[in-house]
Each structure stands twice: as structure tokens, then as C-alpha cells.
Amino acid sequence: MPPGLKRFLVSVTTSLATLCAASALAAEPLTGVYRGEVYSQPNTVNAYSTWLGYDVKMGQGHQAKDSWGNIENPGWQLGAWRSWVKAKPGRRLNYSVAMFPSGQGTLASCAAGAYDQRFKNLASNLVAYELQGTILRPGWEFSGNWMPWYSGNGQQANFAGCFRRIVTAMRTAQPNAGFEFDWNPNYDIASADLSATYPGDAYVDYIGLDMYDQGWNGAYPIPAGCTGSCALTRWQSVWNSQFGPALTKFKSFAQSHGKRLSVPEWGVNDAATQGGGDDTYYVQQMLAFIFDPANNVGYHSYFDLQAADGHHQLSNVDNNGGNTFVTEFPNAAAVFKNHYAGLTQSQVTTTKATVSPATVTRGQTFNVTGSVTSSTARTVVVKYEIRNASTTALVAERSYAAQAFTAGQTRAYSSAFVIPTSLGAGTYRVDTLVFTADWSQTLLYRNDTTFTAN
């Protein structure tokens, strides 16, 4: 969120990702978008993909900050997100999580463990809605004084402690859910506060920054009639004084902790809210930074919305999921779309896994068979997991690392498993997952094979 503004929205494997983050440069960053809360119009995310000409596989949602019920079990959000995520393999939710409702909690109480059970409940409800693998942003934009969990005024240590409690509670409740956690201040956080509020490497998967095109050095808003080189000079002035140094600061901090960066929220801004308007330079520079492998950005999410506190929308997506909206930033929109026109989006598909024999006897070997096809040449990790269909508890797993595919190649896999006799009879399932070679991104996740174990 832009500094000084308040936004109130309506009232795979975590350990492997953490270990591997520092071992290799980023794969292509995952592209996401915020198109409003999808409980009302989930198809607006799909319409955004249509406009972009690129299959956007991450949608973003934000929790309301009005009640514990909307933090622990916001079914009105999670149900809609489940439908969107499960409709197509490889999709993920990026979810902003409130640390406590406005006026109904404190960072000190959170750090002392007073809210642990509430976040255990959230973890279990996310799994109940089949939203494993969600990227979570607890206490997003915590360095902004518009947030209830503002980390200033001597609350830095309490914020770090609260973040640790939330991550620990959610991992304890659902240790196999594959949640990832993004520690996400605003871009203008002071360097001293970066260290003072950081909860520790064991609790962080991404280091994120939100950064909107608002200028505070006198260059914005751009006067009427200031176009061409006049506007470019002002755009460059703001970038060089604010955004460029911030990105360098975050890159260095993330590298020092062996973490991937993220840009969970970014966007152009209208002049009425101290923005640079149709700022092609900002969009060019942001995309260049995000897609430069040396910067190790894991994902980014554009805030494609005409919000009450600032206009950002580039796409032509209307509120009904159609493509009739006319943006006030046509040149920035063209730069954004042209970048994606130059990308080749790799598609990975799998067959539905089969189990043989169809009915499994506990304590005896059974086989899981499937195949993976990649539309482009790439190296991936293929993984099969056996889980209890009711509790989603992990029973067994088998990974195939460094699987090199040529363009269009299909590779078959067969894995032997045993369900121990110590586990109960009942319904189990096979999850098929495909990751990038460094485990940093989930390319595909499906869980449509169930079987009975006697």
C-alpha cells in the first residue's frame, strides 16, 4: 500500500523451499494479480489472464480486519479461492493474513502466544478448503502506521515475536500443508527496522516489499502539459531517489539471509493520489528488476484495481469479469503487456495417477503410476505423495529430482508404496506435484486419485 494511505478491505514443502532458496538463482518469477476479493467475481482473475495473454497462476486475497471469525475461518473467501485454485493445475493463493482484528488485540499478546489457537484454526481451515501450498503474508505492510499491527513505536521485537508465533502455530497444526510465509513490510522501511523486525530465517520463505508509484520528492504530481522528456525526467527523479535505492536495500538484505524476494503489491498511481500517472518508466524498471535472475525474485503480484485510495488498473477487466474497462494508463499497460508477449510460458501437464491394485492391503506393496509432459525443454522435480483423504496427513512420498525434459516430451513414472498396518483402514489419496528444479515454485498440483486401503 502507498505510504500515508489506509486501505481497509471488506469486512512444495516449506522446509525444502527454505533450504534451497539460497542454493540457486530464481526460476522465472511466479506472476500474480489482485483483482478484488474473488468471493464475488472469481472470473475476474481469468479475465485478467485473457487480457494479458498469459496464464496467471497466482491470485491474491486479503483478510478483513474486523473480527476473529474472518481471520480464523473466512469461508466466504476460502470457498471461492478453492474453486479458482482447483479449477486448473498449478494455481496458488497468495493470502494476506491479519495478526488480529483492529482494536481487538496487540502485538505483545500475539508474541506471548495468546492467539496461537486461532492461527492453528486458520491453518486447518485452509487445508479443509484444499488450499495447501498457499503463500501467506502475516501482518502485511507492517511498517505502515495505518495497520493495526504497526511495528513502529517500539513494537519491533513484539512484531517479530508475533510473526514467529503465527508461523509456528500454523506449521504445528498442519505440518504437511506446504505453506510458505512472506515477511512483507513497505519498501520505505528504515534499514534499522529491517533487522529489528525480522523474525529469523527459520520462519521466513520470502522477503517482500510493497511499492506503488507515488513520489514524495516534489516531482509528483506531474503538471498538466508536462509530457515527453519533461515527464520522463520526473519519473526518473522519483525512481532514482526512492525506488531504486529501496530495491537495492531489499536485495542485499534478502541475499544476506539466503531468501528469495517478492513484490506482493505494486502498481502505477493516479495523479490525484500523488502518483506518476501513465508512468512507462516505472513499469519498465519494475519488470526489469523482477525478471532479472540475479535479483532472485520468487513472485510478484500487480494490484490491478481502481481502489478508493488510488487508481492502479492496467487491464481492461470490468467488474463482471468481462473485458470492457478502459484504463487511464494506456502506455504503461502497453509496456506491461509487451513484456509478457515476449515470455514463453512453459506448460506442464500430468495424467491422473493410477493405483494398482485398485484396493490396497495395508502392509503390502502397491504401485502408483503416472506420466508428466512438458511443452518446453526444462528440468523439474516430480513427486508423488500418499495422504489420508480425510485428514490430509502425509503417509509416504517419493521424489524424482533433476528430471530433464525436451520440448513436448512425456516421461512415465511408477513408484512403490506401503501403507503401514499401524494406520487405519479407509480412504487415501495420491497427490501429484511438479516443482521447478530448485523446488522454489510449484508448477502443478493435483489430488484427484483416491483409493481404499483395507
At residue 243, the pLDDT reads 98
- Percent of the chain having pLDDT more than 90? 79
- The C-alpha R_g of the chain, in whole angstroms, comes to 22
Q: CA–CA separation, 292 vs 290, rounded Å?
A: 6
Question: Can you tell me the mean pLDDT for 387-402?
Answer: 91
Query: What pLDDT digit, counting tens, does each position of 120-144 carry?
Result: 999 999 999 999 999 999 999 999 9
At residue 346, the pLDDT reads 62
Q: What is the mean pLDDT of the chain?
A: 90
Q: Which domains does the chain have, with CATH numbers?
A: 14-341 (3.20.20.80), 348-453 (2.60.40.10)
Here the cell at position 213 is 508509484
Judge contact between 365 and 396, C-beta under 8 A: no
Of the CA atoms within 13 Å of residue 433, those in its CB half-sphere come to 27
* Of 266, 280, 286, 272, the residue nearest 220 (C-alpha): 272
At residue 11, the pLDDT reads 32
Judge contact between 68 and 104, C-beta under 8 A: yes
pLDDT at 319 over 90: no
Highest mean pLDDT pick, 4-8, 13-17, 215-219, 438-442 = 215-219
At residue 289, the pLDDT reads 97
- Percent of the chain having pLDDT more than 70? 92
At residue 39, the pLDDT reads 67
Q: CA–CA separation, 217 vs 238, rounded Å?
A: 7
**How far are the Cα atoms of 135, 136, 137 from residue 182, in angstroms, in the given order?**
7, 6, 5
Query: What pLDDT digit, counting tens, does each position of 200-216 carry?
Result: 999 999 999 999 999 99
At residue 13, the pLDDT reads 34
Which of the four pLDDT bands, split at 50, 70 and 90, describes residue 12? very low
In which region does residue 370 sit, left (phi positive, over 0), alpha (psi from -120 to 50) or beta (all else)? beta
pLDDT at 445 over 80: no
pLDDT at 242 over 80: yes
Instruction: Point out which residues pair with 355 in neighbouring strands.
Output: 368
pLDDT at 393 over 80: yes
pTM of the model: 0.74
Judge contact between 92 and 57, C-beta under 8 A: yes
Query: What pLDDT digit, counting tens, does each position of 400-427 carry?
Result: 999 999 988 999 999 999 999 999 999 9
pLDDT at 399 over 90: yes
Query: What pLDDT digit, counting tens, does each position of 247-298 carry?
Result: 999 999 999 999 999 999 999 999 999 999 999 999 999 999 999 999 999 9
At residue 27, the pLDDT reads 54
Instruction: Point out which residues pair with 278 in neighbouring strands.
Output: none
Q: CA–CA separation, 63 vs 348, rounded Å?
A: 31
Catalytic positions are 141, 265
pLDDT at 65 over 50: yes
N-terminal to C-terminal alpha carbon distance within the chain = 53
At residue 446, the pLDDT reads 82
Question: Can you tell me the mean pLDDT for 185-200?
Answer: 97
